[in-house]
Amino acid sequence: MLGSNENLIHDVRAKFAHVDSCPYQGTRVFFENAGGALTLNSVAEKSQEMAAIPDNQGRDNPAAHELVRIIAKAKDDTKLFFNASGGQVFVGESGTELLFRLISAAILGAEKGGIVLGSTLEHPASRSACIRWADIAGKDYVSVPHNAETGSVTAEDYLPHISPDTRVATILHTSPVSGMAVDVGAIAKAIRNVAPDCYIIIDGIQHAAHGGIDIDSYGIDGYVISPYKAFSRHGYGLAWISDRFTQLPHDGLIGAPQAQWELGTRDTGAYATFSEVVAYFEWLGSQVTDSTDRRARIEAAGKAIHAHEKDLTDAMLFGIGNLKGLTEMPEVGVLCGAENPLREGLVSMTVKGMDAETLVSALRERGIRVHARKADHYSANILTPLGLEDCVRVSMCHYNSEQEVAQFLTAMQEIVAL
């Protein structure tokens, strides 16, 4: 969709910093979006503007009032982006820190006994937090085995492991290794049917850049993202929690309002940059729908992003013009099925007789930036069941172009012919 509209893809790319060149390497194709997406120019500008403001919130002066307004607006913008009519949004140190904070509060605040439920698909952030705090609270941790072939996990996979005493559950929205999405709403529903009071927390960190978050439809209590993976900057994480979750005991100053989950002075700049991200989604939506409704524009942007990313991954897998796709290169193995409808902009692959680090270097020498994933504490859960030591992750976003995929395939053809 975006790719077939030359003006639009041009306008989209113009909104991001360092689209086709790296200040340290020079010209390169950026296919390392799962490690950190490109930053919006508006985010970089807003960061600089806010970094220069010396004032603090909570004073009776125009600067302090403006900072409070910016934070309140960003919280509203983010709730719109998440489609969360209730609950609240707040920032923390990182996505990982917020997952630990939410998971520990849920486990310590839930009724005694029972189990904490997760899946083997999860990133170590949620898995580690669950195991650590379940142990401290005397609860058992149960891990649902994911489907290694599809690189995802379903409500049917969760079902046999859900018991009425499931106190806390975590669900990964999209895997950063397989690149496959999970039907969060279906799993949350399956959990609620058996354990209605369970606290359900979602790791949406890999999903956020791909659009289409709809918290109101999920029936959950917590959702966490890392904004640097969603076109903002490094240095903060963002969490949404439900009204019910807000009431849980949590770290905070004695005497402070119960609903306040932020710790210490808030970084107004962090909030302000996320308003820029939401404004970008609205702008993109305005290019692909006639609706002037803000949420309708955000949803339209999500659909356009998904459609364009599918075009890109299809081109990468099945070829473009007279270039062969990865599935036509006998030396290349594609993880979790080439025809996988759950794919979100990401292809993980192996090349026979070549380790992942060597392939990453060969692609770097040809101006393509990708990343190796090894069977370590980050990725062994996905790679070991597939009998793999490592893989190369090629991760795209909607600002990438078919021209860049063609450059990548040309490089791959050279490399496999070596």
Ligand X SMILES: Cc1ncc(COP(=O)(O)O)c(C=O)c1O
- Least separation in angstroms between residue 123's CB and ligand X is 3
Contact call for residues 360 and 21 (beta carbons, < 8 A): no
Helix (H) or strand (E) holding 64: helix 62-82
- Taking CB under 6 A as the binding criterion, the range among 45-53, 90-98, 396-404, 410-418 that sits at the site for ligand X is 90-98
118 contributes a contact to ligand X by CB under 6 A: no
Q: 347 - beta bridge partners? A: 394
Binding map of ligand X across residues 230-249, x = CB under 6 A, - = no contact: --------------------
Choice from 33, 42, 88, 96 touching ligand X (CB under 6 A): 96
Q: Does 334 bind ligand X (CB under 6 A)?
A: no
Residue 383 near ligand X by CB under 6 A: no
Query: From residue 407, how far is each of 5, 244, 324, 371 by CA, in Å?
Result: 20, 50, 12, 17
Site map for ligand X, 180-219, x if CB under 6 A? -----------------------x-xx-------------
Q: Smaller CB distance to ligand X: residue 92 or 285?
A: 92
CB nearer to ligand X: pick between 125 and 272: 125
Q: Within its chain, how far is the Cα of 338 from the centroid?
A: 21
Give the residue, chosen from 28, 46, 79, 123, that forms a contact with ligand X under the rule CB under 6 A. Answer: 123
Sign (positive or negative) of CA dihedral 333, 335, 341, 345: negative
Q: Which residues of 371-385 are buried (b: 16+ CB within 10 A; e: fewer)?
A: bbbbbeeebbbbbee
CB closer to ligand X, 229 vs 266: 229
Amino acid found at 124: P
227 binds ligand X (CB under 6 A): no
Nearer to ligand X among residue 55 and residue 97 (C-beta): 97
Per CB under 6 A, 125 contacts ligand X:
yes
> Residue 92: enclosing H or E segment and its boundaries?
strand 88-92
Min separation Cβ 277 and ligand X, Å = 15
What are the DSSP calls for 228-269, one per residue? GGTTS-SS-EEEEE-HHHHTS--S--TTS-TT----SS--HH
Q: Count the alpha carbons within 13 Å of 121 in the hemisphere toward its beta carbon.
A: 32
**Shortest Å distance, C-beta 8 to ligand X:** 28
32 in contact with ligand X (CB under 6 A):
no
The answer to the question of residue 95 lying near ligand X (CB under 6 A) is yes
Shortest distance in whole angstroms from residue 125 CB to ligand X: 4
The position carrying tokens 């119960």 is 258
Q: Is 268 in the site for ligand X (CB under 6 A)?
A: no
Residues at the interface with ligand X (CB under 6 A):
94-96, 123, 125, 172, 176, 203, 205-206, 226
